[in-house]
């Protein structure tokens, strides 16, 4: 047993020394390498191929891991940038609205008060907005509320720190108005369905057409003359009735209003020219 063990060791040592000797002395390194290559080259080739395969698999795996982590980081970046983009867009829109409101306020020949919408009521029974201006700010009932596009409504209730603005399409809202082009007078009223109609338009004022702008008449003491109320989208001719009725598209989309101007004074002149078509 012991003899076999040392015989094996001796054989291995001799083989190794033979290989080394053949490589360095036995006819020169080239011949030695040729001899060794006969036995080793197939194994080496196999090993090299396996090595390449394993290395390739390993690199693919590490690439996959890198790509995966990069992908996760990029997704997080993308999400963050999207949120930032939304915030920037929001700020930009707010800035745009405020600029238009400020421009209107500067043009208005009367005292105004800016307010921010803090609540909405859009049920069928009442349609209103809550503005963060109240009694302490000098707000009074029936004050007109406008934005750069036109009339929003009027102050219906005043509280200590807020006011309720009745919208044009509230079923109990009535505003005296005229067709700007023909000066045909009538009343703009809200409807339970949320629409707005221009009613009691005398038939002798016919010629009103879809697209006509309806503005406040200035009759009475509530609203200044010339504030855009809406545009005619359809005429309802009741045949033998004394009046025409027109369906209006409100000048102001109350659902999107976020800042308003409360008119605290009454101008004598027509303010229609202060409202540009795009606000």
Partner 1 sequence: MRLSLLLMAFGGSLAQSSVVPSWSVGGVTPDLPFILTALIALRRGPEAGCLVGFAAGLLQDATGGGLLGVQALSRALAGFAMGLLPGRLWVGHPLVQIPGLVLLTVAEGLVRFGLLQLFHFPASIGELLVRVILPQALYNGFLGAACVLAVELAHMLRGRHTWI
Dihedral (Cα; 260, 264, 270, 276), 10-degree rounding: -20
Residue 65 contacts partner 1 per CB under 8 A: no
Q: How far is the CB of 70 from partner 1 (least distance, A)?
A: 19
Structure tokens at 36: 């060794």
Long-range contacts of 205-213 (CB under 8 A, 24+ apart): 205/179, 205/244, 206/244, 207/182, 208/179, 208/181, 208/182, 208/184, 208/232, 208/235, 208/244, 208/246, 209/235, 210/234, 210/235, 212/179, 212/180, 212/181, 212/182, 212/246, 213/179, 213/180, 213/181, 213/251
Residue 37 or 234: the one with the smaller Cβ distance to partner 1 is: 37
247 Ramachandran zone, left/alpha/beta (phi>0; psi -120 to 50):
beta
Q: How far is the CB of 64 from partner 1 (least distance, A)?
A: 14
String of contacts with partner 1 for each residue 31-60, x by CB under 8 A: -----x---x--xx--xx-xx--xx--x--
Q: Where are the alpha helices (DSSP H) in the chain?
A: 2-24, 29-107
Residue 7 or 83: the one with the smaller Cβ distance to partner 1 is: 7
Q: How far is the CB of 21 from partner 1 (least distance, A)?
A: 9
Whether residue 192 contacts residue 124, with contact meaning beta carbons closer than 8 Å, is answered with yes
* Contacts of partner 1 in 144-183 (CB under 8 A): none
When binding is defined by CB under 8 A, the residue of 12, 83, 88, 242 that contacts partner 1 is 12
Residue 51 or 135: the one with the smaller Cβ distance to partner 1 is: 51
Residue 4 contacts partner 1 per CB under 8 A: yes
Residue 9 contacts partner 1 per CB under 8 A: yes
Mark the segment that binds partner 1 (CB under 8 A) among 16-24, 91-99, 139-147, 155-163. Answer: 16-24
Mark the segment that binds partner 1 (CB under 8 A) among 1-9, 103-111, 176-184, 262-270. Answer: 1-9
Residue 4 or 106: the one with the smaller Cβ distance to partner 1 is: 4
The count of C-alpha atoms lying within 13 angstroms of the C-alpha of 14, restricted to the half-sphere facing its C-beta, is: 6
Mark the segment that binds partner 1 (CB under 8 A) among 12-20, 83-91, 186-194, 216-224. Answer: 12-20
DSSP line for 98-132 = HHHHHHHHHH-SS-EEEEEEEEEE-SSS--EEEES
Structure tokens at 71: 């992908």
Q: How far is the CB of 1 from partner 1 (least distance, A)?
A: 10
Q: Which of 220, 221, 225, 278 is nearest to 252 (CA)?
A: 278
Q: How far is the CB of 5 from partner 1 (least distance, A)?
A: 6
Task: Label the pairing between strands 185-190 and 144-147.
Answer: unpaired
* Contacts of partner 1 in 208-267 (CB under 8 A): none
Residue 200 contacts partner 1 per CB under 8 A: no
Residues that bind partner 1 (CB under 8 A): 4-5, 8-9, 12-13, 15-20, 23-24, 36, 40, 43-44, 47-48, 50-51, 54-55, 58, 62
């Amino acid at each position: 047993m012991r003899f076999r063990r040392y015989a094996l060791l001796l054989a291995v040592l001799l083989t190794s020394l033979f290989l080394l000797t053949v490589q360095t002395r036995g006819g020169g390194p080239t011949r030695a390498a040729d001899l060794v290559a006969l036995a080793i080259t197939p194994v080496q080739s196999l090993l090299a191929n396996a090595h390449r395969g394993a290395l390739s698999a390993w690199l693919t795996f590490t690439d996959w891991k890198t790509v995966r982590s990069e992908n996760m980081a990029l997704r997080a970046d993308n999400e963050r940038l999207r949120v930032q983009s939304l915030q920037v867009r929001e700020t930009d829109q707010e800035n745009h609205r405020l600029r238009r409101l400020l421009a209107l306020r500067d043009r208005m020949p009367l005292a105004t008060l800016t307010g921010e919408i803090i609540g909405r009521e859009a049920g069928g029974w009442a349609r209103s907005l809550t503005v963060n201006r109240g009694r302490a700010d000098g707000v009074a009932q029936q004050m007109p509320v406008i934005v750069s596009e036109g009339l929003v409504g009027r102050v219906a209730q005043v509280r200590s720190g807020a006011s309720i603005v009745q919208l044009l399409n509230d079923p109990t809202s009535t505003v005296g108005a005229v067709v700007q082009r023909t000066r045909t007078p009538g009343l703009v009223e809200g409807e339970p369905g949320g629409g707005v109609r221009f009613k009691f338009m005398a038939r002798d004022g016919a010629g009103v057409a879809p697209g006509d702008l309806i503005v406040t008449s200035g009759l009475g003491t509530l609203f200044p003359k010339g504030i855009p109320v809406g545009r005619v989208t359809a005429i309802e001719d009741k045949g033998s009735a004394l009046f025409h009725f027109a369906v209006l598209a409100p000048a102001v989309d109350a659902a999107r209003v976020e800042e308003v101007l409360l008119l605290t004074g009454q101008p004598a002149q027509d303010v229609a020219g202060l409202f540009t078509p795009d606000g």
